[in-house]
Each structure stands twice: as C-alpha cells, then as structure tokens.
Amino acid sequence: MKRSFRTNKFALLALLAVVLAMPSYARKKPTYEITLKINNGYDSVMYMGYYFGSGNKVVDTAFLDKKGRFVFSSTTDTLPYGLYFFANTKGTYVEFVVYREKPFFTFETDHKDWTSNMKVKGSPENEFFFSFHRVDVEFDKDLTLHQMTLDSAAFATYRHARLLELDSVKIDYITKEPSRFLSKMMIATKDEEPPLVDEKGDSLTLVQRREYFLNHYFDNIPVEDNAIIRTPKKVFYDRVMTFFDSYLKYAPPQVIIEYLDKLIDRSKPAPDVYSYLVMAMMQKYLQSQVAVYDEVYVHLAKKYYDSEDNFWASPSSIDKEMQRANKWDRLLVGREAPELILFDTMHVPHSLHAMPNKWKLLVFWSPTCSHCQHVIPTVYKIFEKYREQYDIGAFTILSEPDDKTRKQWKAFMQTHLMNSPAWLSLDGGEANVDWHDVYDIQTTPQIYLIDENNIIQAKKLGENSLENIIKAICGGEQ
C-alpha cells in the first residue's frame, strides 16, 4: 500500500508539472479583466454594472484582495459596450466606459474623490472620459462655492455664464474626438436647432420649423449603435419618451406610427436597441389610457413582434402577444363592435346591434368591483342626463354572473335607482359568444360608446371623461 501511494503521488506531481509547463494559450483566457484600486478606502466589496433604458443592471461583484484591489474578471461573460459604473454598498459610485476596446483596464483613485483622482491604464477611451469629468467636477465645485457667497440674482447670472463656458468645453471635446463614446453621449442630448430660412432663403413659418424639429429630433442619437441603450436615462430613454409624450402629445395614431417606424427601422443594425424599442414602445401603448392609441400597440405587435426579425422572444410569448393584438385589432376605434346577445333579469334576449338608439353605451361591470361601485352610479347619472337629448341607450353586462353576485347586482341597481328602460341590465352568464374573450375584459368597468351603425367611437371611458366625450361626439353630430 505504501509503494502504491508513493507511485500515485509521483504521478500526480508529474502531471501537475506538465500542466504548469503548458503554453499559456492552452489555458482559458478571461473575456474581460477590470481592476479598481481605491487608496485609503474602507470598502470590502464593490459592484460593477451598466445603465440600461430607464434603469441599471449590476453584472459583476468583486471583493477586496490582498493587494487592496477589486478585480472584476470572467472567462465566460462578455461586457457589451456602454457606460458602466463601480458602486459600493453606501451608494458612492464612479462611471467609466466600455467601448470599442478590449476590456482589460486598470483604474486607481483615492477614496476622497473617485472621479477627480482617477488614473487610467490600458484605455484611451477612459482617459478621454475622465479628462472631461475632472473639468466638470471643478465646474460644480466652483458653482457650489459661489452659491454660498452670492445673492440669488447674482448667482443666477454667474451660473448662466459658467454653464455657457462648460458648453464651450463640451464642444471642444466633441470636435477633437467625435468618435469617443463620451462625445456621442453629449451629442445625443442636444436638439437639432431648426433653421430660420429654407434653402432658397425664404423665412420658415412656425409650423415649418416645428416640422423640421420633429423630423430631425433623433438625428443626433446614434440608435444604430448598441452602446446607446446602455447610458443614463437622460441620454436615451428620456429623449425618446419626451418626443412621444410631449412633442407628439395628442397626435393621431397614424402620426405616432410614422415616427415610430422611422426610429425602429433605423435601429435595426443595433439588435439591442431594436429589441428594446419594440418592447418598450409596445408596453407604453399597451398601457395607454388614450383609446385611439390601441392602434399603435396593434401596429407594433404585428409589424415587429410577429416578425422574422424578432430574435428575443420565445414562440409561446409571441403567440400570447399576438392573441391579444388580434383581439385589440377587432376592437379599435372605427371598427364595428362585435355583436352581443344576452338576457335581462326577465330572461328576455337583447341584441347590441339591434338597439334602435342613435348612440349606445356598452358597459361591463360588477357590484363586487370596488371601482365599479364608485363609477357606475356616476355613469348612470350622466346617461340619464343626456339619453333623451342625444338618443342614447345602454347595454350593460354583469361581468361576474354567479348566484351570489346576481343578488348584489339587483340590490345595487335598486339602491341607486338604476331603473330606466333605456338602461338594459343584462346577465353575462349566457350569451351568443364568450364576451370575456371577444372584448378582452381583464378589468372592470369597461365602457364603450358606439354609434347607430355599431361602429366604436370611443372606449376606455371613465366617470371623468364620459360626459365630455358624449358632448363632443354625440353633440357634435346633431
């Protein structure tokens, strides 16, 4: 036994010697290695992450080693381009760039001021980045000092002048190194200034200047570059959302679709930006309370989500999303409302399409829904106020047709004197179709305004919007 152990021991030592003698290229090399040293620091753990859309994501954690360093390294993961940060557990952080360089950098700084004291090795991109931010930090310190010594009016004047100086510094940096990622981020936050005259020298009207502004709003944002999605929200996310929330506020869905298509199609060379825009904008218009904007969601789902270019979603999630999009497509403003035939409390059948009124309210509700308890009595009062003036009928459906709820339903209508013959109270338990599915009833109340030709004129109506919509649409047609 002793001889056997000695033999195995020598064999293991020989094998270890062979492994150590193997050339370095035979070992698995790291995909990145980023070292951070903070002199005189107290942290034992450090996080590394990047910005993404409206938030951020931590991608690695490092612990203080015996040499006083935090070493972030991996042999499997890669670091996509973008703006990154180191952060400690107290929330102190410093940003850096990973962009068009192999991510093998060394950073060294002092705990008193991570940015101003930062020294960089192995990354011209970050040398450029920190050279600007040291200037930026000094500007902030100067403004803070003068804010303490000047009155508010004098400080406002001084601040304005200093910010103009900082803008000049930014322009210098951008001019010298336009391909640096810092330069691209600074350019991305600037609006394209509309010209005062056209190519012929004729003055442009305010409408023409606004059109120019809208058409060139995204010119400075490099959506063809994946890195732009990994920036602070003010650089990319806020810019995109401001355009659609502010500059296209109240715009018709067709106009929104036109600008969205231009932006998304332009981002196709950058898969990360492309997939993010499709998903973010679909979610935005999926949740919109503006009824006509359902058309935007349907368009995005059909053109981009249900497409060969959709590389990020599973077949099952695509099928699920398209089922909803196809339902919504049939319920868009301007579409014919699907026919419904249900029974009233006396088991008499009623047809939505056969209602003789010029205008019809289609209402899905339940007395067990707390929001319905508040909204429906108000809806009934508005209905009573205008039903004769505009010839309005109501086709209202109990959305939870069980025996217990039916009793509450009848009691609720009696309590609130909802007894108008033009207000049809219909039991949802028996119908010509599965109206839950056909009308995609996920929450209640749901209220539609339908015309005499059964065309949907408005939906997603609430107690605050119903009266104005009735006066605008029903009253406008008299």
Each residue's pLDDT tens digit, 5-49 = 444 555 555 555 554 555 555 568 999 999 999 999 999 999 999
Q: Encode the chain (478 residues) as per-residue pLDDT tens digits.
A: 444 444 455 555 555 555 455 555 556 899 999 999 999 999 999 999 999 999 999 999 999 999 999 999 999 999 999 999 999 999 999 999 999 999 999 999 999 999 999 999 999 999 999 999 999 999 999 999 999 999 999 999 999 999 999 999 999 999 999 999 999 999 999 988 898 988 888 899 999 999 999 999 999 999 999 999 999 999 999 999 999 999 999 999 999 999 999 999 999 999 999 999 999 999 999 999 999 999 999 999 999 999 999 999 999 999 999 999 999 999 999 999 999 999 999 999 999 999 999 999 999 999 999 999 999 999 999 999 999 999 999 999 999 999 999 999 999 999 999 999 999 999 999 999 999 999 999 999 999 999 999 999 999 999 889 999 999 999 885 4
What is the predicted pLDDT for the residue at 14?
54
What is the predicted pLDDT for the residue at 4?
44
Q: Is residue 214 part of a domain?
A: no
Q: Is residue 95 part of a domain?
A: yes
Residue 160 and residue 87 share a domain: no
Alpha carbon distance 405, 411 (integer Å): 10
Alpha carbon distance 256, 248 (integer Å): 7
Alpha carbon distance 363, 445 (integer Å): 7
Hey, how many other C-beta atoms are within 10 angstroms of the C-beta on 59?
16
What CATH number is attached to the domain comprising 109?
A: 2.60.40.180
State the total domains in the chain: 4
Cβ-proximal residues to 68 (8 Å cutoff; 6+ apart), any chain? 37, 39
Q: Is residue 2 part of a domain?
A: no
What is the predicted pLDDT for the residue at 478?
43
Q: Is residue 25 part of a domain?
A: no
**Domain termination residue (choose one: 130, 153, 185):** 185
Residue 104 and residue 150 share a domain: no
Residue 350 and residue 326 share a domain: no
Residue 318 and residue 372 share a domain: no
Residue 144 and residue 84 share a domain: no
Residue 320 and residue 442 share a domain: no
Q: Is residue 127 part of a domain?
A: no
Residue 328, burial from CB neighbour count under 10 angstroms (0-12, 13-18, 19+): middle
**Domain termination residue (choose one: 89, 121, 153):** 121
Q: Which of 191, 196, 220 is nearest to 208 (CA)?
A: 196
Residue 39 and residue 116 share a domain: yes
**Domain termination residue (choose one: 121, 150, 176):** 121
What is the predicted pLDDT for the residue at 19?
47
- Dihedral sign for Cα atoms in the order 234, 237, 243, 248: negative
Take residue 464 and report the two structure tokens written for it: 């605050």
What is the predicted pLDDT for the residue at 21?
56
Cβ-proximal residues to 37 (8 Å cutoff; 6+ apart), any chain? 67, 68, 69, 70, 106, 107, 108, 109
Residue 382 and residue 320 share a domain: no
What is the predicted pLDDT for the residue at 168?
93
Q: Is residue 216 part of a domain?
A: no
Host domain of residue 383: 341-477
Take residue 32 and report the two structure tokens written for it: 């990145």
Distance from the first to the final alpha carbon of the chain: 107
Residue 278 and residue 361 share a domain: no
Q: CA-based Rg of the chain, rounded to a whole angstrom? A: 32
Three-class secondary structure assignment of 202-246: CECCHHHHHHHHHHHCCCCCCCCCHHHHCCCCCCCHHHHHHHHHH
Q: Is residue 61 part of a domain?
A: yes
Q: Is residue 267 part of a domain?
A: yes
Residue 470 and residue 362 share a domain: yes
Residue 405 and residue 317 share a domain: no
Angle at 397 between CA 393 and CA 402, to 5 degrees: 155
Residue 236 and residue 262 share a domain: yes
pTM of this prediction? 0.87
C-beta of residue 341 within 8 angstroms of C-beta of residue 428? no
Each residue's pLDDT tens digit, 64-86 = 999 999 999 999 999 999 999 99
What CATH number is attached to the domain comprising 419?
A: 3.40.30.10
What is the predicted pLDDT for the residue at 5?
42
